[in-house]
Structure 1
Amino acid sequence: MSLLKLEDVQVSYGGIRAVKGVSLHVDEGELVCLIGANGAGKTTTLKAITGLVHAAAGKVMYAGTDIARDKPYEIARRGLALVPEGRGVFPQLTIQENLAMGAYSRDDRAAVAADEERMFALFPRLKERAKQTAGTLSGGEQQMLAIGRALMSRPRLLLLDEPSMGLAPLMVEKIFEVIRGVATEGVTMLLVEQNARLALEASHRGYVLEGGLVTLEGEAKSLLGNPQVRQAYLGE
């Protein structure tokens, strides 16, 4: 069953249509990627799902309900969590405080404390720096923190926007190791990523977005072998 289903979603900024009619679905337990060049409409699609921008037309169906007109905080409470492009950590707050912000809508204190320890086990670097302010961390550490903060909400659906952007290769490897690990725990994920090879290798299925429209979709393995994808996105 589809946990998330977009039906002909369109988004405009002023007079410009950034997303021209995107339809896609993410089934329960799947890791699905959305790939494409800069300006293809990937981030805007995620913003439409999370209510940060409102779709001018189309439906955003989540667990059978159209959430296209819901407010971002209402959507977050339904179990969607976004790891935004550029990480978006709270720079003046400590690592622990940032993680606590991820669990702001929960009142199960013992479970929140257990989840914090789980995040520290997942990201040992964060544990070493638990009292350090997030603004003093490296880009890779901030990305770890942004993912940890999102997981603290115990999301039913996790949206990741360009998690590898601006990171050193070793850090990218670590981040994708975590993403694959979270997927094996059954968390449903929609991944927006410019590194098409990494995204497709980690995913079950994928969509290619060009000029605000889905131009290709299919099993990740078949997209990896697609000549069009290989030429446009894999540098071959």
Structure 2
Amino acid sequence: MTNRTVLKVDDLRVAYGGIQAVKGITLEVREGELITLIGANGAGKTTTLKAITGTLPNCRVDGHIEYDGKPLKGLHSFELVQRGLAMVPEGRGVFTRMSIHENLLMGAYTRNDKAGIADDIEKWFGVFPRLKERSAQMAGTLSGGEQQMLAMARALMSHPRLLLLDEPSMGLAPIMVEKIFEVIRSVSAQGITILLVEQNARLALQAAHRGYVMESGLVTMSGEAHTMLDDPRVRQAYLGEG
């Protein structure tokens, strides 16, 4: 881990019509960190990720977002991928009528190193053996957990320097949630910087280096993840204790 800032969000505000969904948040992610953004449903977490990637529907976005020292405003999604920023959206977003193998190839569409792409497919098949067993199967026929694995592997095929994960455990069986978090920790250990939005606050904070809490469009708390796990306010509001 270094002190070099990969992502800097400064005074971000997002409004849909008259509704202010994000009310001026500031956060940063340094190289090699796993940062988590936790909070209740409707706190503005997903809106924040979509503002970073420029994938929000008609709304007003103010503030400053910098990736790798340069502003992100006005860049298309494929340009973000070319610059090393990939996102696994909430709901997974796999190509349902393509096979697992074809989905992984789509993740590498900005690359032209065929041997490297083939090696990476084998690498992620090693991490997700279920996908290897079903590589010719249509992605739309997979379970929710398998689709989440595929969405993560597909994003990793682009060799991201910053990976944004939006609610990766949502709707999954507990055993699948454990597997997904095992992979998140493994990807982080490989030096890939991660910004994780997650409702399962306990697992997110156990995996992360630092955390931010969002409530009603504002960051209300931030700090070292292990410290936040012991904070009575976090325990009461998000860990079901106290």
TM-score scaled to structure 2, two decimals?
0.96
1:8 aligned onto 2:11: yes
What code does the residue aligned with 2:10 have?
Answer: E
**Aligned AA for 1:113?**
A
Contact 2:16/2:60 (<8 A) preserved: no
Paired position in structure 2 for 1:40 = 43
Is 1:229 aligned to 2:224, yes or no?
Answer: no
| Alignment match, 2:136 | 131
The aligned amino acid for 1:83 is V
SS in 2 for 1:56: strand
How far apart are residue 56 of structure 1 and its match?
A: 2.1
Change (3 A) 1:108 1:55: farther
Which among 45, 70, 74 is matched to residue 69 of structure 1?
A: 74
Q: CA deviation at 1:55?
A: 5.8
Quick check: 64-73 or 112-121, which moved more?
A: 64-73
Which residue does 1:52 correspond to in 2?
55
Equivalence for 1:109: 114
- 5+ residue gaps, structure 1: none
Residue 13 of structure 1 deviates from its aligned partner by 1.2
Percent identical residues: 66
Query: In angstroms, what is the RMSD of aligned CA positions?
Result: 0.9
Aligned to 1:78: 83
| Distance in 1 separating the partners of 2:60 and 2:130 | 39
* Contact persistence 2:51–2:61 (CA under 8 A): no
Q: 2:175 aligns with which of 154, 170, 178?
A: 170
Per the alignment, residue 218 of structure 2 pairs with 213
**Aligned equivalents of 1:133, 1:72: Cα separation in 2:** 25
Contact 1:139 1:166 in 2 (8 A): yes
In structure 1, the residue matched to 2:201 is 196
User: Any idea what SS the aligned residue of 2:168 has?
Assistant: coil
Tell me the distance in 1 between the aligned counterparts of 2:132 and 2:60: 40
Partners of 1:214 and 1:68 in 2: how far apart? 22
8 Å CA contact 1:9, 1:55 repeated in 2: no
1-structure distance, mates of 2:81, 2:14: 20
* Contact 1:208–1:215 (CA under 8 A) maintained in structure 2: yes
Contact in 1 for aligned 2:100/2:136 (Cα 8 Å) = yes
What is the CA-CA distance between 1:69 and the residue it aligns to?
2.7
Q: Distance in 2 between matches of 1:145 and 1:181?
A: 16
More off after superposition, 124-133 vs 11-20 = 11-20
Match of 1:159 among 144, 156, 164: 164
Long gaps (5+) in structure 2? none
Choose the corresponding residue for 2:21, options 18, 21, 42: 18
CA shift at 1:203, angstroms?
Answer: 0.2
Moved more, 10-19 or 65-74: 65-74
